With several copies, the nearest count.
Chain A
Amino acid sequence: MSGSNKKILLEQVADYVKDGDRVWTGGWTVVRKPMAMVYEVIKKRKKNLHLVGNPGGPETDLLIGAGCVIKTETNYIGHEVFGHPYNFRRKMEDEKHQGELFHDDWTVATGALRIMAGAMNIPFIPTRSLKGSDIINPSLDGFQALRGSDDKVPKKKVVLMEDPFWEGDTVALIPALKPDVCLIHAQEAGDDGTVSITGGAFLDYYAAVASGITIVSAERIVPREALEQTAESNVIPGEVVNAVLEVPNGAHPTALHRFYDNDPWWFKEYLEASKDEQRMEEWLEKWVYSMDHFSDYLEKIGFKRLQKLRANPVYGYNPDIKRRLDKLGGVT
């Protein structure tokens, strides 16, 4: 794969995502999430997705709210200090949505270990975590009904085992994560798929290697030769990347180190809308379904607002941005 030019268009992204796929979304909660690609997946009305990104942020709540998701397998779904994941909550709490979403609870350490095991192509990995927690309580297993019948789900959540090599401690064996598709947004990628990320790669390298297909959107697609200059800090080799696309502001409204900060106005509007099913539907119509292209979405966000979000390249973030939603003014 490494010799070819892998550029695709945003409109083609959904061709790589099949209904029912296990999908890893890169980044971390409200940072560097592949939002443009997620909007595209929503627009194409993908169904029965099985989200395995660890942790999940607005992209996860959005995909759930848009009805694209039947399974989530993660340590966290939320918007950090901005507010709560109302679409996820509704699916879990409301009588009328019972059975629409299977959710399997994990942790940050085990999410990391599971995707590392996936990258290593080993079926499981031991951990010293989880002991004593209801996360491994056999009677509280969100995927219980699926184990053994759904081949995208491991047959067991955990197996306890005594260490036969050293002191005999009991450790928990946990299954590898095996995403079908991995969506990542980065600052820069080569046309060969090589990915450069700063400000934290999170688990994206492991996910890219563990996944059947990996798509990377980036602020800039550059000739591959340019990335020879930064070889020591490039984080994902082109070999595991199937396609790349250039999408400036492609992580909006989440933050991208050196490029832009979180968009508090987006979170404020989204959080209000997502509290209610009808308003969520209107929000999706307004910001996703009605948009011909992501550039129309950005046009609607507006130049002034995007300017307000710009990061100071020395700091990596925007030191002047207001982040408190309850006292947030308009874009001036």
Chain B
Amino acid sequence: MNVEEQAPDKTGKNKTSYSQLEMMVIASSRLLEDQERVLVGTGLPLVGAGLAKKTHAKDMVVIMEAVAFDSNPQSLPFCVADARAVYKTRWVPTAAEVMGHFLQGGRIDVGYLGGAQVDQYGNLNSTCIGDYYSPTKRFEGSGGASDIAALAKKTIIIMAHEKKRFVETVDYITSTGWKCRSYDGKSLVYRWELGLDGGPFAVVSTMGVMKFDANTHKMYVDYYYADLGVTLGEIINATGFDIDTSRAKPMEPPTLLELELLRTKVDPEGIYMKY
């Protein structure tokens, strides 16, 4: 994820190089809107939310599951329980309130999540690879991701684009997408059949921005990072299921302001961005 390429001088405003990782964080941050209540997961969402607050969404309400409501961190929190998330807030809730009351109460507009695996219906896996009882790779677990995917009005997923991550069916559905597990565990059903509202709105990767077809609820490519040289063929190759690229448009490159804020204000140490 440390690709650095010279940005083509198309618009005249991007005479600098930037990475696919940066484009991913910036593209996802652009999907956040001012005034929205955004429940931010740990990892890159903390970076993207920080950037949005400093650019187009100054009054976005940043919420973190452990402790923070309407957070305005002066320094990048490195987890959702960090003191940096609490500084200059007007209320210090716990997970009982954030998750038990606000999320479960339908008061969260956007869930902003990372994950290890995503499938064509936007189901997320952050639990394990392989068999659940003897996994080849065991991850940290859901944290709040499962709740957020079930209960937010929409979710935005941010994840590196690799064939082993973009799979036809995730090994374990930690967080529900459009077509998820039936109660008996034996089949996949549409989330509304279980009475779930919301659903994945976009998957933002290191190659592009994917959305979900309104009829099939399968993932398609909405934007690709043409400016970074990413091709639709590369996306197809890095995706473990058939993906519709017919609607793909080139992504607008980062502005100088976005890049500068990201590099010097949002994550100057490169804790997540690993400069």
Chains A and B touch each other in the complex, with CB atoms below 8 Å apart:
yes
* Interfacial residues, chain A to chain B (CB-CB below 8 A): 2-3, 27-32, 55, 74-78, 80-82, 84-85, 88-89, 92-93, 95, 98, 105-113, 116, 119-122, 127-140, 142, 160, 169-170, 190, 192, 194, 198-203, 205-206, 209, 224, 227-228, 231-232, 234, 236-240, 255, 257-258, 261-262, 311, 315-317, 319, 322-324, 326-327
Question: CA separation between A79 and B175, bound complex, in Å?
Answer: 21
Question: 7 closest pairs, A vs B, by CB?
Answer: A132-B180, A108-B144, A200-B67, A78-B140, A28-B81, A3-B59, A137-B185
Does B28 make an interface contact (CB < 8 A)? no
**Binary interface profile of B, 180-193, with partner A (CB < 8 Å = 1, else 0)?**
11011100010100
Tell me if B32 is interfacial: C-beta within 8 Å of chain A: no
A203 contacts B95, C-beta separation under 8 Å = yes
Inter-chain CB contacts under 8 Å: number: 267
> What are 30 A-B pairs with beta-carbon distances under 8 A?
A31-B66, A55-B141, A85-B140, A92-B138, A107-B147, A108-B144, A109-B103, A120-B100, A120-B104, A121-B101, A121-B104, A131-B150, A132-B150, A132-B173, A137-B173, A137-B185, A194-B90, A199-B83, A199-B92, A202-B81, A203-B96, A231-B89, A237-B70, A238-B90, A238-B91, A239-B102, A255-B82, A315-B84, A324-B270, A324-B274
| Chain A neighbourhood of B270, CB < 8 A | 324, 327
Question: Contact check: which of A27, A93, A140 meets B138 at CB < 8 Å?
Answer: A93
B120 at interface by CB-CB < 8 Å? no
Q: How far is the CB of B55 from chain A (nearest CB, A)?
A: 16
Closest chain B CB from A71 CB (angstroms): 15
Is B256 an interface residue when CB atoms closer than 8 A count as contact? no
Output the least CB separation between B47 and chain A (Å).
11
Report A-chain residues with C-beta under 8 Å of the C-beta of B144. Answer: 75, 107-109
Judge whether A202 and B94 touch: CB under 8 Å: yes
B174 and A322 contacting across the interface, CB-CB below 8 Å:
no
Decide if B13 is an interface residue (CB 8 Å cutoff): no
Asked if B194 CB lies within 8 Å of chain A CBs, one says yes
- Chain A residue numbers with a CB within 8 Å of B128 are 92
A228 partner residues in chain B, CB cutoff 8 A? 88-90
Given A31-B79, A105-B142: A316 in contact with B87 (beta carbons within 8 A): yes
Contacts of A77 in B (CB 8 A): 140-141
* B195 contacts A by Cβ under 8 Å: yes
Task: Please report the C-alpha to C-alpha distance between residue A317 and residue B81 in the assembled complex, in whole angstroms.
Answer: 12
CA distance A134 to B144 in the complex (A): 14
B65 CB–A CB distance under 8 Å: yes
A107: which B residues are within 8 A, CB to CB?
142-147
Determine the residue in chain B with the shortest Cβ distance to A316.
Answer: B83
Shortest distance from the beta carbon of A8 to any chain B beta carbon, whole Å: 20
Tell me if B241 counts as interface (CB < 8 A to partner A). no
In the complex, are the beta carbons of B96 and A127 less than 8 A apart?
Answer: no
Q: Would you give the shortest CB distance from B229 to chain A, in whole angstroms?
A: 27
Q: Please state if A234 and B151 are interface contacts (CB–CB under 8 Å).
A: no
Chain B residues within CB distance 8 Å of chain A: 35, 37, 42-43, 59, 61, 65-67, 69-70, 74-75, 78-84, 86-97, 99-107, 127-128, 132-138, 140-147, 150-151, 172-176, 180-181, 183-185, 189, 191, 194-196, 269-272, 274
> A199-B67, A199-B86, A231-B90 in contact; A75/B173 too (CB < 8 A)?
no
How far, in angstroms, from A205 to B92 measured CA to CA in the complex?
13
List 17 other contacts, CB 8 Å, given A109-B95, A134-B185.
Answer: A2-B61, A28-B67, A30-B79, A108-B66, A112-B95, A113-B100, A133-B174, A134-B132, A134-B181, A190-B90, A200-B86, A201-B92, A206-B96, A228-B89, A231-B91, A316-B83, A319-B75
Q: Contact check: which of B42, B94, B103 meets A80 at CB < 8 Å? A: B42
With contacts A119-B105, A133-B150, A209-B101 taken as known, whether A200 is within 8 angstroms of B185 at the C-beta atoms is: no
Q: Is the CB of B67 within 8 A of A237?
A: no
Considering the chains assembled together, what is the distance between the CA atoms of A87 and B86 in angstroms? 31
Quick one: which of B75, B172, B183 contacts A140, CB cutoff 8 A? B172
A131: nearest chain-B partner, CB-CB: B194
Chain A residues near B42 (CB, 8 Å)? Answer: 80-81
Let me know if B146 and A120 touch, CB within 8 A: no
Report how far A138 CA is from B185 CA in the complex, Å: 6
Cα A224 to Cα B172 with chains together (Å): 44
User: How far does the Cβ of A1 sit from chain B's closest Cβ, in whole Å?
Assistant: 8
Give Cα A203 to B132, complex, Å: 28
Q: Is the CB of A3 within 8 A of B82?
A: no
| Given A81-B42, A200-B94, A319-B75, A76 contacting B140 (CB threshold 8 A) | yes
| A129 touching B150, Cβ below 8 Å | yes
Residue of A whose beta carbon sits closest to that of B91: A237
